[in-house]
Structure 1
C-alpha cells in the first residue's frame, strides 16, 4: 500500500523488494514494479537472457534507490492487460525477471495489482509461490485471498503510507476524520 499507484504513488518503490532480498526470501514474487525503461531493456535482451539491470526507484525520493543487479529474463509480454470488474486495465509491455529467489513483474504502464492475471499472463503459477507481494491496498483481496494462507498488510517506507494520518497533507481543511478525532461524522452535501 505504501507504493500503490491506485492511491497516486509512483509504483516503483524498492523498499519491500530490498527487504525481501535482505531476508533471503525464496520462491517469492512481487509486482508490479513500474519501470518502462527497464521493460524496454528486458525486451531487447529477450527471454532467457541474463542482464545487468537498473530498475525501480527512479521517480521519487520516497521510492528508495534503484536496484542494480544481474537478473534473469524469465518471460516477456507485449501489450498486456489485467482484468478488473469486467474490463481490461492496460499494463503495456511487461517483463518477468528473477533476482535470487524472487521474481519481479515489471510493467510499462503504471497501475496497481487488481487480479491474478497481472502474474499469470507471464506464465506464473501463483499457487506454487510461498510469498506473493502486491502493490495494492484493497482491490487485490478478492482475487488473492482464496489462494493465500494469510494476507499481511505492510507499511514499508514509501510515498503513500498505509496510515493516512502520516501523509504530509498541505491543503486539508481541519479538523477532518480520519486525520483528527471528530466527535460526530460531518456530512457535506
Structure 2
C-alpha cells in the first residue's frame, strides 16, 4: 500500500513519463548490482535477481515520491518502513526462549577476504596503488576480482568487491577511454580481459 501511495505521489510530482523513466533507470542499476552479486550462481538465481530488480524499480521512486509530497512526514514513513522490513529485521538476532542460549555461528576458518586482490593496506593506500599498476596488472586485478566475487562468503563482501571492481573500471576509463569503450562494445563479460583493447588503443594513439 505504501508503494502504491508513493507511486501516486511520484506521478503527481514528476508526471507519468518522469516516474516511468525513474523506475527504468533504478531498475537497470539494481539489475547490474544484483547480477554482479548473484549472477555467478547460475540460472537458479535468476528469479531472485528479477525480484530484487522489480522491487527496486518500484520502491525507490515510491519512496522519493512520498518524501517529495509529504516532506519530513514522508521521511519518517520511509524510515519506519525501511527499519521494519523483513529483509532488514532478519539480519538481527531475535529473542530466544528462556534458558536457551543464542545459537553460536561457526567462526570462519580464514580471515575475511579483502576486496582488493593485490593490496591489504588501508583503503587510501589501495586507491593510490591502483595508479601505480601498469595496464596489464590492472586488467589482471580486474579478472582476479571476478573469482573473488564468485567465492565471496557474504553479501557485504560481495558489495565491497563490486565497489572495488568499479574502481578498476574507473581507472581504466581514466587511462584509456577509447580502449575501455571498444572492450565494452565488443560484448565485454564480467570475467573478460580488457587489456588487448587498452593496448590496441594505446598503439593506435602513438
Query: Which of structures 1 and 2 has the bigger CA Rg?
Result: 2
TM-score, L = length of structure 2: 0.20
Which structure features the higher share of strand residues? Answer: 1
Query: Relative to total residues, which structure has the larger helix share, 1 or 2?
Result: 2
